[in-house]
Structure 1
Amino acid sequence: HTDARAPLKHSTVFDIVFLDPPFHTDLLNLTLQWLLDSNSLHPNTLIYLETPKNVSVENFPLSIRKEKSASDVTSRLVSPC
């Protein structure tokens, strides 16, 4: 297994990030916080998230560019504020 935070330890800045962590874990919150605390994002970075429909990302400083729900899953395209 690989530590998902490993790329964040380098000075890489990402244009797009895909997050689709296993549902029913806290990995989404942890990973979003790691990303937002790192220097790996710029204001126009796009972050694609897939979450259970009932999961909110309102506690994070993110701007929602697009959001779509199907069945029990919500897909979002967001950027850091």
Structure 2
Amino acid sequence: MKKKLGSIRIVSGKLKGRKIYFQDSEGLRPTADRVKETLFNWLMFKIHDKNILDLFAGSGNLSFESLSRGAAQIELIEKEQRTFKTILENISQLNATEINAINQDSFDYLTSTQKKFDIVFIDPPFNKELVQKSIDMIADRDILNPDAYIYLETESSLTQLEIPSNWKLVKEKKISNVMIKLFQVNN
């Protein structure tokens, strides 16, 4: 693998200590270790053998951490070509056959997918007004399994979101300039 601008360590599970690499690109903001640790503590007993959708995957950080912790299948969606190419290199290096990486716009993917998921990660580039559109599209599509979890990672200044009435807030935390929230679907 050629030299990259950055790397992220997988913090737990079967791939603990391994690194994934990423190239810098506009809006790419890999989830910080402290945020990632909090998220996966929340999901600790919920991720094993689950089907996961990682929208706006960026570096693929959340997908690779999920894989390491026992997720069954992961759909990783990233539209930026250079970033996607690096994700494919990381998948190959880690022999991550459970990750299906798709080079597509997340909204286009949501429009066309027929799959169902147990956990959805929504972590788009900040300050681009992508979070509410993601929430709305997921709520309008039949892609969530019963009792599914939805993780939002947003800029802390984003305070006005319309959340579907059947999404129950389970956990939330502000870490630096990032707000993270975990919802569970009540069917």
How does the TM-score come out when normalised to structure 1?
A: 0.84
Q: Which has the higher contact order (CA 8 A, sep 6+)?
A: 1
Q: Does 1:55 align with 2:167?
A: no
Q: Secondary structure at the match of 1:67?
A: strand
5+ residue gaps, structure 2, are: 1-78, 80-103
Higher strand residue share: 1
Q: Is the 8 A contact 1:36 1:80 kept in 2?
A: no
- What CA distance in whole angstroms lies between the structure 2 residues aligned with 1:16 and 1:57? 23
Give 1:1-81 correspondences, 5 Å limit: 1=79, 2-5=104-107, 6-56=109-159, 58-61=161-164, 62-81=167-186
- What CA distance in whole angstroms lies between the structure 2 residues aligned with 1:79 and 1:46? 4
**Per-residue deviation at 1:43?**
3.9
Query: Deviation above 3 Å: which 4+ runs of structure 1?
Result: none
- What CA distance in whole angstroms lies between the structure 1 residues aligned with 2:133 and 2:170? 21
Fraction of identical pairs, as percent: 32
**Per-residue deviation at 1:8?**
4.7
Matched residue count: 81
- What CA distance in whole angstroms lies between the structure 2 residues aligned with 1:39 and 1:57? 24
Give the letter for the 2:121 counterpart.
Answer: F
Give the letter for the 2:132 counterpart.
Answer: N
Give the letter for the 1:71 counterpart.
Answer: S
**Per-residue deviation at 1:28?**
0.8
5+ residue gaps, structure 1, are: none
**Per-residue deviation at 1:54?**
2.4
**Per-residue deviation at 1:7?**
4.8
Higher helix residue share: 2
How does the TM-score come out when normalised to structure 2?
A: 0.40
- What CA distance in whole angstroms lies between the structure 1 residues aligned with 2:121 and 2:115? 15
1:7-40 CA-to-partner distances (Å, cap 9, x unmatched) read 5523211100111101111111111111010000
- What CA distance in whole angstroms lies between the structure 1 residues aligned with 2:111 and 2:120? 12
